[in-house]
Amino acid sequence: MSTNPNILAGRPSRTLSGDVAVPGDKSVSHRAVMLGAMAIGATRISGLLEAADVIRTVQAMAALGAHIERHADGTWVVEGVGVGGWKEPEEVIDFGNSGTGVRLAAGLVATTPVKVIFSGDESLSRRPMGRITQPLSLFGARIDTAPGGTLPMRVIGSDDPAPVEYTLPVPSAQVKSAVLLAGLNAPGETIVMEPEACRDHTERMLKAFGADISEEFTEKGRIIRLSGQKELTACAIEVPGDPSSAAFPLAAAILCPDSRVMVRNVLLNPTRTGLIETLHEMGAEIRILEPRQSGGEIIGHVQAETSSLRGITVPAARAPSMIDEYPILAVLAAFAHGTTRMEGLAELRVKESDRLKVTAEALAACGAEVKTGEDWMEVTGSGGRPLKGGAVIDAHHDHRIAMSFLVLGLAAQEPVTVRGAEMIATSFPGFVSLMQGLGADIAPAEVE
């Protein structure tokens, strides 16, 4: 028998405790590097998530002409090229597994006369790009994709861009951001209509960089207006802890006996706190401590402890504020009293994996009772008793699936083994050591 670092096991654990900090928020990290690369001057970024997805963005911005350095103290400095100052890259830009990175970068170059070819790994190459190619074409960009609207994707930026008025057909921060970033180098006013709220990190950070951007709330939704061809000014960005990463140690504390865990300096943007709201409704002992503002974002400590959960209905309207947290929520629901119904989950079908299908199959393999439809999931909980566990789960190239089912193993009767655990590095390098430091039994599994 030997161990494989890409195959991890989560084993029954007790008494998790400690104060920890999770890696920087991935959404904020991507945008900080991208806007710094467009700004005039040197943008200093502290707390940047140094995971595979964000490093791909760093490499992409360097290929487009920005000068980027990491200093010994962990601070990153980005010297920008100015709005419309991209150079044509010499090679294909590979975004690995990062859907956020490639979709936002397509917006960045759509209104600059350069030709860029984007590629990705096997998982990203199955994800749809049509949701951004259609609005970006309105600016005058020429965009070609592989059959089925997937990567590789060639973007030929417009040399005479036109401003765009665009209504989001579905709540998608990636689509909204791609349109706004394209609008930075388009003359006149680019307008995005958002019928349903989704993450607003791009708007907040654009303001920090001095963009001419405003918003208006109407009966039909939020209207965002951006005046293009105005230079951005470099600034200092503090990246708070990623709430999607914080969800895993917090969930483990809720499930494991006699446990209390605090995660420090977590991003608490209202468009990202759907899981905390949901856990409150389920009866979890979870609290926000010492909230403050920094760089236009709300930051605070989040503490969770062992809790008895009850099943609830999570409305579709909440999905945009917690879309990445549904796998770990489903794991929590599997230990609750009663049935938890999650609605509005169509977006999960086109994540790193078909998260709805993969989550349901993995839960069933661990002994949970679960039903799904096209855009919903119902999980009937164990009533607080440990699930059987004992399954071997394929992560399907999905970091959040991997972490969610390692957490499930901590509260199961038998260990849960996860294959493909190397994908965890795309968002949460150091996950295993952090969880071990809290008392969790997660380690490479023995394989023949």
Question: What is the set of active-site residues?
Answer: 324
d(CA 431, CA 429): 6
d(CA 251, CA 390): 19
